[in-house]
């Protein structure tokens, strides 16, 4: 038996969420898109309410609505919309099964077919048109963060094979990282100049700041009074947590498999760590002393 009340409640929740998001949107085009999404979802709700009756959000759902609105301020409206869409394929399959219900009138079937079409294509197309800073500069964020993680992980692992001093390792990581952040910012600036529609200044700033922030985070364990191996393990843990968060963010917005992307990136990090450690050990043996 189809759960018409659950369908109606989900559509009402999405409609109210998009409506609230539109009220806090200053960009006119973005606001129009959100209002269109809210209107569309409310029409879906009205269709299901014919079978389920009038629905109101529960206390739990109202709290969930407030949480999503708060998250939209941190992660952006596009992320929240795309996050809600992740279960749309399952919903569409359920809706398709209801199309086969003999009790459904021909007119209701036509309306449901339109709803399925909107759930599959129209909503995603509208959400992709929302213009947000984080989405526009996703490439610069990825460049600064991922390059810093890979470079710092290699540097720290190299010093594990060369020195027993965590302070020495941390300072070296900071020097290499901050210098590299300026280099990456300059590279991002020059690259953006060759790409139409991109702001070189903003691309350079985002890349540089993301690089510096990642450097500070990954070097911090070496100033906590820990041994080099323990500090390196904690630094790698921080790197994996940051990588997991960003991978989830990017795959939610752009699509793709979180598991596949995360495991692939994790494999690269550990490969760099192993190579860095072996190189550091080789240098220590070649020089014959361990600072």
pLDDT digits (tens, 9 = 90+) for 148-167: 888 888 888 887 777 778 89
**Band of the pLDDT at 123, cuts 50, 70, 90?**
low
Give the span between the Cα atoms of 233 and 113, in whole angstroms: 53
Contacts 24+ apart (CB under 8 A), 57-65: 57/9, 57/12, 57/13, 57/16, 61/9, 61/13, 64/13, 65/13, 65/16, 65/17, 65/20
- The pLDDT tens digits for 191-214 are 777 766 677 888 888 888 888 999
* Rg value, the chain, Cα: 25
Q: What is the pLDDT of residue 238?
A: 93
Is 95 in contact with 112 (CB distance < 8 Å)?
yes
39-53, 105-119, 191-205, 210-224, range with the lowest pLDDT:
191-205
**pTM of the complete model:** 0.78
Q: What is the pLDDT of residue 291?
A: 57
The predicted model gives 71-85 an average pLDDT of 85
**Band of the pLDDT at 70, cuts 50, 70, 90?**
very high
The predicted model gives 211-240 an average pLDDT of 90
- Work out the percent of the chain whose per-residue pLDDT is above 90: 15
The predicted model gives 58-62 an average pLDDT of 88
Q: What is the pLDDT of residue 122?
A: 67
Residue 173 has pLDDT above 70, yes or no: yes
Looking at the chain, how many residues does it have?
Answer: 291
């Amino acid at each position: 038996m189809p759960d018409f009340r659950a369908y109606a409640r989900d559509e009402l929740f999405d409609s109210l969420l998009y409506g609230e998001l539109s009220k806090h949107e200053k960009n006119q085009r973005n606001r129009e898109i959100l209002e269109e999404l809210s209107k569309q979802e409310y029409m879906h709700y009205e269709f299901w309410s014919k079978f389920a009756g009038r629905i109101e959000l529960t206390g739990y759902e109202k709290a969930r609505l407030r949480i999503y609105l708060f998250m939209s301020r941190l992660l952006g409206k596009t992320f929240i919309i795309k996050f809600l869409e992740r279960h749309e394929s399952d919903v569409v399959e359920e809706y398709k099964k209801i199309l086969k219900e003999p009790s459904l009138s021909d007119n209701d079937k036509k309306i449901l077919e339109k709803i399925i079409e909107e759930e599959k294509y129209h909503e995603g197309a509208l959400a992709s048109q929302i213009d947000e800073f984080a989405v526009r500069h996703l490439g610069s964020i990825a460049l600064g963060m991922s390059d810093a993680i890979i470079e710092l992980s290699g540097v720290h692992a190299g010093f594990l094979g060369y020195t027993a001093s965590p302070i020495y390792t941390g300072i070296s990581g900071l020097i290499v990282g901050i210098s590299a952040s300026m280099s990456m910012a300059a590279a991002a600036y020059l690259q953006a100049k060759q790409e139409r529609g991109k702001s070189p200044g903003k691309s350079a700033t985002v890349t540089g700041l993301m690089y510096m922030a990642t450097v500070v985070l990954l070097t911090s364990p070496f100033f906590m009074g820990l041994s080099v191996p323990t500090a390196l393990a904690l630094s790698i843990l921080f790197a994996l947590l940051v990588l997991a968060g960003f991978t989830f963010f990017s795959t939610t917005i752009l699509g793709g498999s979180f598991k596949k992307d995360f495991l692939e990136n994790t494999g690269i990090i550990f490969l760099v760590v192993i190579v860095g450690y072996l190189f550091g050990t080789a240098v220590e043996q070649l020089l014959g002393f361990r600072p």
